[in-house]
């Protein structure tokens, strides 16, 4: 049987979420780590869309991290990372859509913004988004209940990178958001997460050019 090959970069949260799914499902694969600041000559030949991650298996190529994650869920049903019930499945996708279009963009807006007043505005929006997540997690182990799901795995990479916002923008996850903080701690202790974990210093250095563009 042909094995999977994942092209990615450790710095990239979209790659990270894909690797978490592969690890949780214990899918055998080869990981090809790429330095995005010093791309190999073959980069655009192998990755015609010019971005990571890209999952390859024989002649099959799948890109866009959210699509890769759902493909892996379809390919390997255990452990299940999406509900069987169509309504609950739609609810999971709504959370993923919200994260992709609201939470993730706000994270980068705050990181990249140079003006103090604009930073304060983005921080206020981000605080409200964190409060929404905290409200959803109250009384739950994970976003969809007691079982880990794609929602948790696709959102978590930005929380591993939170030291970036703490270091460059003095924005911590508020301590009063106890359910969210407990979820973050729970996720950080999963074996798959610890296997792929990078130190805070790695992210702080790698994202310096976002916070302080030359």
Contact assessment for residue 189 and residue 195, using Cβ atoms and an 8 Å cutoff: no
76 is catalytic: no
Q: CA–CA separation, 30 vs 48, rounded Å?
A: 19
Helix (H, G, I), strand (E, B) or coil at 23: helix
* DSSP per-residue string spanning 105-148: HHHHHHHH---HHHHHHHHHHHHHHHHHHHHHHTT-SBTTBSS-
Q: Out of 11, 12, 69, 133, which one is annotated catalytic?
A: 12
Cα distances (Å, whole numbers) of residue 149 to 7, 18, 82, 167 = 23, 13, 6, 30
Residues carrying an active site annotation: 12
């Amino acid at each position: 049987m042909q094995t999977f090959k994942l092209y990615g970069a450790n710095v990239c949260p979209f790659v990270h979420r894909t690797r978490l799914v592969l690890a949780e499902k214990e899918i055998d694969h080869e990981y090809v780590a790429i330095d995005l600041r010093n791309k190999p000559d073959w980069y655009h030949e192998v990755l015609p869309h010019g971005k990571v991650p890209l999952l390859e298996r024989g002649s099959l190529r799948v890109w866009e991290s959210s699509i890769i994650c759902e493909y892996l869920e379809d390919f390997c049903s255990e452990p299940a990372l999406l509900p069987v019930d169509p309504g609950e499945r739609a609810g999971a996708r709504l959370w993923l859509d919200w994260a992709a279009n609201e939470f993730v963009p706000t994270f980068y807006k705050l990181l990249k913004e140079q003006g103090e007043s604009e930073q304060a505005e983005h921080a206020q929006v981000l605080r409200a988004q964190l409060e929404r997540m905290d409200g959803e997690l109250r009384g739950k182990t994970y976003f969809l209940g007691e079982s880990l799901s794609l929602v948790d795995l696709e959102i978590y990479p930005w929380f591993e990178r939170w030291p970036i916002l703490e270091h460059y923008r003095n924005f911590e996850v508020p301590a009063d958001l106890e359910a969210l903080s407990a979820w973050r701690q729970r996720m950080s202790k999963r074996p798959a997460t610890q296997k792929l974990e990078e130190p805070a210093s790695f992210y702080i250095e790698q994202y310096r050019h976002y916070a302080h563009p030359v």
